[in-house]
Amino acid sequence: MEQRAREIGWPALHAELHQRDPLAASRIGPNDAQRIQRALEVIALTGRSMSEVQQEARPPLPAVNFIKLGLSPADRNMLYERIATRFAGMMDAGFLHEVQRLHQRGDLHGELPSMRAVGYRQLWKHVTGECSLQEAIQEAVLDTRHLARRQLIWMRADPELAWIDSVASDALTQLQQRVAPLFG
């Protein structure tokens, strides 16, 4: 699929998708390589359109009560400190070595969706000599902070979501109080 995209371009593959699955094509932009590829791969692998697969009847959810909870430090600086600490822990646990081994395989490249994930993308740049290790780490931590911020903004738009300060001394008590009504 990527070879075809290099030869004819993603807009041409989007036009092909439009012929084979107009509904999916109407929801996917002509330069959204990842979604175009996924939709065409579904057709190639299943013989059915992505829209058809997505519209299949799904069994109803069981009759249960749900509560939406968000756990996050109320202090954003604390969240950012934890992100940096977590990434340092990943590095100590061999994350760089993992990326080096993936690079050495020879069958992967930096444009694959898996290699564009936060952390992998930055360390891949270091492994290929595009930046220093320190620059890669700083960029990975910063990009993780940006991702966390976007996720929090998205989640805070849900009026049903109840937030608990995950580092508050009474966080467990708050959690128990929110969940207790579900169990009568």
Q: How confident is the model at residue 182 (pLDDT cuts 50, 70, 90)?
A: confident
Q: Which pair of structure tokens corresponds to residue 75? A: 């202090």
Q: Which pair of structure tokens corresponds to residue 100? A: 């080096």
Q: What are the boundaries of each domain within the chain?
A: 2-55, 68-179
Please give the pLDDT value at position 152: 93
Coil, strand or helix: which one is 128? coil
Mean pLDDT, residues 107-111:
90
At the top level of CATH, the class of 2-55 is: mainly alpha
Q: For the CA atoms of 67, 151, 78, 66, what is the dihedral angle to 10 degrees?
A: 10
Which helix (H) or strand (E) segment holds residue 151: the answer is helix 133-156
Instruction: Quote the CA–CA distance of 118 and 74 in Å, as a whole number.
Output: 23
Say whether pLDDT at 181 is over 90.
no
Other C-beta atoms closer than 10 Å to the C-beta of 91 total: 17
Please give the pLDDT value at position 183: 80
Tell the residue number behind the tokens 């492994």, with chain if given: 127
Q: How confident is the model at residue 114 (pLDDT cuts 50, 70, 90)?
A: confident
Please give the pLDDT value at position 175: 92
Domain 2-55 and domain 68-179, same fold? Reply is: no
Give me the chain's average pLDDT, please: 92
Coil, strand or helix: which one is 35? helix
CATH architecture of the domain covering 68-179: 3-Layer(aba) Sandwich (3.40)
Instruction: Quote the CA–CA distance of 82 and 8 in Å, as a whole number.
Output: 45
Please give the pLDDT value at position 113: 84
CB of 13 within 8 A of CB of 4?
yes
Other C-beta atoms closer than 10 Å to the C-beta of 19 total: 8
CB of 126 within 8 A of CB of 31?
no
Mean pLDDT, residues 2-21:
92
pTM of the model: 0.68
